Amino acid sequence: MKVKNIIINSIRNIIILAVIALAIYIVPYIIYLPYFISSTLIFVASGILMPIIIYLIIDLVGNLLMSTNINTIKTLGVVTVQLISPAVLIYLVLAAFASTLSPFNRFISVSAILMSTYLAILGLLIRAFGSRFNYVVGDLIRGIGTTVLLFGMAMLFLPIYAFTYSLYTQSIIPAALPILALAIYNAFLYTAVTAIVITAIIFLGFIAPLRPVSMDMAYMSGMLMYVIAMISMVIVLGTLTPYSGYITALSVIALVITIALISYRLLTAYLRLGESKVRDVYHEYAIRVMERITVSDYELINAINNFMMNGNKDALLEYSMKALTRCKNVGTKILDEIKKYEPPYYGGLWPWGSSDIRNRAIKDAELRSKISTEIITLISTCQGGKQEIQVASSHYLTCRFSVPVHSRGWY
């Protein structure tokens, strides 16, 4: 019924807007109006209302696809509604503005600026759409969106550089302004190229043995692109000083060091050195917590074990919500703590980060122990269970240690 209402409302809106657009469009041909007013009415009809109508039609098609029971067609409908329809709308509106403002192209390339702006907006749309998905697909889509966004920003500054350079050749502005525009253009361009490489590495996440490398690259993608942007800007801005040669050399050295550090970190991610350094910490704390369990509930034991060893909170949260609901909603505070908990990231390592990772693991293991102990105490009190489980706690520590890694890149 909801989908049916959406479809009916969309059809009604399309008809209403079509009638309004047609009325506005024919008015200048029926009634004599000043050129400015008639041009404005034609632009409103063809440059704003028509794109909205086309947007609603595409959105309607997407909703029809989403109403089917076939997953592939339903996914296509989601892509149509959330990505294709807004992308088409924005393109048509900007294209209409580009046509209207074309007389200004003799001063500065307005059309190129608007189309570059469209690329940047399209990149943002793709990134937003990628947020719907989990790793690897989500990071891959966000990587593509980031690449499109950065290329759009680079292309946006290219006509700006050309415009400022022409003013500089006429001695209207100082040389620093076109060089600054060129530096920003280079920063976006080389960062976009870096985003292509990062996206290609993230794509390797579909190959299981290379997934840690892919996830670690996504995790540090933002920092890497920032470093590349700064280096590319410094190289160009260095031409404003008499030490440009030294600045270029230092920038190249910084780039080589950055590549070496990134390679080292990706190698440690592939070898899972971060996980191996903290495995014994979680194992030790898990044994202590398992010894506190005094109820014969193997579902609870497995949930606690999985949470302590791997940081997987879903099973523990599900079990706790069911158990504590039967106990008149006792312990809502601890449930909130479980929901908010996020395990730390143990992917690749920097050469200087070996000691810090163990300290982070100890703090996190203490937090997991605190949460687990409170859950055990509440459930034991609620159920009145006092019967000890006569089993060695290490028997339950059979879950393969695999610290959850969360991709937090592309920011």
Query: 147, 232, 154, 155: which is closest to 197 by C-alpha?
Result: 147
Domain positions in the chain are 1-100, 103-271, 273-396
- 66-89, pLDDT tens digit by residue? 888 888 899 899 999 999 999 999
pLDDT over 60 (residue 195): yes
| Per-residue pLDDT at 3 | 67
Distant-in-sequence, close-in-space partners of 219: CB < 8 Å, separation ≥ 6: 345, 347, 348, 405, 406, 407, 408, 409
Stretch 3-31: mean pLDDT, rounded?
85
pLDDT in tens, 109-160: 888 899 999 999 999 999 999 988 877 888 899 999 999 999 999 999 998 9
| Six token digits for residue 34 | 């000043």
* pLDDT tens digits for range 226-237: 999 999 999 888
DSSP 137-163: HHHHHHHHHHHHHHHHHHHHHHHHHHH
> Looking at residue 405, what is its pLDDT?
45
Label residue 383 by pLDDT band (50, 70, 90).
low
**Is the distance from CB of 58 to CB of 80 less than 8 angstroms?**
yes
- pLDDT for 21-42, tens place per residue? 899 888 888 888 787 888 888 8
CA angle 393, 395, 398 (to 5 degrees): 115
The predicted model scores a pTM of: 0.76
Q: Which residue has the higher pLDDT, 390 or 229?
A: 229
pLDDT band, very low/low/confident/very high, at 9 (cuts 50, 70, 90): confident
Question: Shortest CA distance to 158 belongs to which of 131, 138, 201, 187?
Answer: 187
What is the Cα 118 distance to its own chain's centre?
A: 19
